Amino acid sequence: MAEARVPFEVPRGEELLQRLDSVLEVIYLIFNEGYSATRGEDWVRPELCQDAMRLGRVVAERVSDSSEAQGLIALMELQASRLRARVDAEGNPVLLLKQDRGRWDRLLIRRGLAALKKAEQLAAPHSPLGPYALQAAIAACHARARWPEETDWERIVALYDALAQMTGSPVVELNRAVAVSMAFGPGAALPLVDALHQSGELARYHLLPSVRGDLLFKLERYAEAQAEFERAAELTVNERERTFLAERAKQCVTHLQ
């Protein structure tokens, strides 16, 4: 945004309240493009994450009673805490369970957890958390786990259940399937991913065959996994991610020999 010199002005007063959902959505889209770039040679673009967090803080100050504004701040800060560990020295992707958690930014984690607590306090007593706060609660499960084995995957599944019911998003359903695989095994998750595949809703979404390939790999169905990773590599337009997925396909070939 800053590089392109595209102006972004946060609405004020009543205008901000009327457009709050759209403003939060745009901010999170900016953050996501920095957290996992959709195209280009870099997998992460930290400067976009910083821009989004700065804008999010401005909005949260102006609507200090908004649970979802605080939820978005919590979500972005908790996710941004992992940025340094998301790539290796050459800029290649490092998946969550293989990240060096010693490189996670503890200050951002503390700030994110504090914002999540505020979001929970601002929510109406008998109303559910909104989608950003729910995603922040999921990110908090990872942030609180010093080791991958300590992750409360069953709670994450429950949070995704609530998020899926609220949003109806097939991407959320895919993320929920990943959590189910971690909590209950790949065999429990594969039918969920197969159902998404058959629905056609994510036909051009590269992470669907990527997740399916990972589940098949864990189930030692290497030929099928190879085909899924190759399909995922074809669909992505990010060079780093394409290389990573191609390497995963090669790992399947090694197991088949």
Note down pLDDT in tens along the chain; length 257 residues.
444 444 555 566 566 667 889 999 999 999 999 999 888 888 899 999 999 999 999 999 989 889 999 999 999 999 999 999 999 999 999 999 999 999 999 999 999 999 999 999 998 776 789 999 999 999 999 999 999 999 999 999 999 999 999 999 999 999 999 999 999 999 999 999 999 999 999 999 999 999 999 999 999 999 999 999 999 999 999 999 999 999 999 999 999 98
pLDDT for 6 equals 47
Q: Decide if 160 contacts 128 (C-beta within 8 A).
A: no
pLDDT for 130 equals 94
Q: What angle do CA 68, 70, 75 make, to 5 degrees?
A: 90
* Pairing assessment for the beta strands 39-40 and 237-238 based on DSSP bridges: parallel
Task: For the full predicted model, state whether its pTM sits above 0.85.
Answer: yes
pLDDT for 48 equals 95
Q: Decide if 252 contacts 225 (C-beta within 8 A).
A: yes
